[in-house]
Amino acid sequence: MNIWYDQLIELTKKELRARYKTYFFGYFWSVANPLVLALTFYFALKMVMKIQIEDYPLFLISGLFPWQWVANSLSGSANIFINNVSLIKKLNFRRELIPLSMILNDLFHFCVSIPIILLFSLHYGKPVSFSLIFLPVVIVSQFMIVYGLSLAISSINLFFRDLERIVTIILTILFYTTPVLYPHTYLPENYSYVIYFNPMSPVIILYHQLFLEGFVQMKFLFLSFCYGVVILSIGYYIYNSLKWKFAEIL
């Protein structure tokens, strides 16, 4: 085992402590936030707008929980290096561990919230199916997408500090154009190709399929994995070509 493994663990623990002070409240907030969000959308879309989607509460949380991970990690990315300026200016260690520790922290919170989605699944009489063995593949794909974007955002934001605002806007657009609140099959036929251009869509579709329908479509699994590999490569390339300038610009 390498030293960076220890460094990653310690940085992740620091991240966890820094954000929530105690581990218990960390769990509480990571679950409470998307649950409240789900409740709000349930009120607005189901009770008021009368949207006709079967088992809508389950549908909502199986999309909102993983989305929470994306939103937290990406909005935290912009300032992650700026918040750790002293480490970057003084210590020579792998700086990619800093965003990685933040993402692992969010991933951890997502993972501990999966049992709640499964409870909802059982409540709505969904069989716990064999296809759940694909869950780790979906999580890994999502991880690669999020980490790749995070490396790019955190590195570029050091040079263009207004990227943070742009990220906030893009996250909002992404949230409503990704099939989180509605099934992708609801898209009008001539727009249905749009989901293939949104890297987050296949991942969210897969979560819906896993928790509601008990199957996964291989084309989405393949697509999300490809997006993961491509985005992580690009993100790492951007980080790698800028990392020598971090200590100069901070």
Partner 1 sequence: MEIRGNIMSIIEFRNVTKYYPNYHHIKGGIKWFLFNLPSALSQLKNHRFQVLNNLSFEIKEGEPFGIIGKNGAGKSTMLGLIAGVLKPSSGEVIVKKKVVPLLELGAGFHPDLTGRENIILNGVLLGIRRSEMMLRINSVIEFSELGQFIDQPVRTYSSGMLTRLGFSVAVHTDPEILLIDEILAVGDLYFQQKCKETIKKFSQKGTTIVLVTHSTEDMRDVCKRALWLDSGTAKKIGSPEEISQAYLKYLGFS
- From the list 70-78, 144-152, 154-162, 197-205, the region that binds partner 1 by CB under 8 A is 154-162
Q: How many CB atoms lie within 10 A of CB 90?
A: 8
DSSP one-letter string for 81-145: TGGGHHHHHH--S-TTHHHHHHHHHHHHHHHHHHHHHHHHHHHTT----GGGGGHHHHHHHHHHH
Q: How far apart are CA 69 and CA 197, in angstroms?
A: 20
List 24, 130, 160, 193, residue binding partner 1 (CB under 8 A): 160
Helices (H) and strands (E) in the chain, counts: 11, 0
In the bound state with partner 1, the residue whose beta carbon lies nearer, of 11 and 100, is 11
Q: Smaller CB distance to partner 1: residue 44 or 85?
A: 85
Q: Contact 117/42 with Cβ under 8 angstroms?
A: no
Which is nearer to partner 1, 17 or 123 (by Cβ)? 17
Q: What is the DSSP string of 170-188?
A: HHHHHHHHTTTSS-GGGS-
**What's the rounded Cα separation, in Å, for the pair 65 and 107?**
11
Shortest CB 70 distance to partner 1, Å: 22
Q: How far apart are CA 198 and CA 191, in angstroms?
A: 12
Nearer to partner 1, 161 or 219 (CB): 161
Q: Give the nearer residue to partner 1 in terms of CB position, either 14 or 126.
A: 14
Is 159 an interacting residue with respect to partner 1 (CB under 8 A)?
A: yes
Residues 84-113 touching partner 1, rule: CB under 8 A, are: 86-93
Residue closer to partner 1 by CB (options 4, 124) is 4
- Nearer to partner 1 by Cβ, of 47 and 249: the residue is 249
Which range touches partner 1 (CB under 8 A), out of 3-11, 23-31, 60-68, 167-175? 3-11
Interaction between residue 50 and partner 1 (CB under 8 A): no
The yes or no reply on residue 213 touching partner 1 (CB under 8 A) is no
Give which of 160, 172, 144, 139 is closest to 235, Cα–Cα: 144
HSE, CB side, 13 Å, CA atoms: give it for residue 74: 26
Site string for partner 1, 13-42 (x = CB under 8 A): -x--xx--x---------------------
Distance in Å, CB of 91 to partner 1, minimum: 5
Asked if 3 is part of the footprint of partner 1 (rule: CB under 8 A), the reply reads yes
Other C-beta atoms closer than 10 Å to the C-beta of 118 total 14
Size, binding site for partner 1 by CB under 8 A: 29
Which positions touch partner 1 (CB under 8 A)?
3, 6-7, 9-11, 14, 17-18, 21, 86-93, 159-163, 166, 244, 246-249
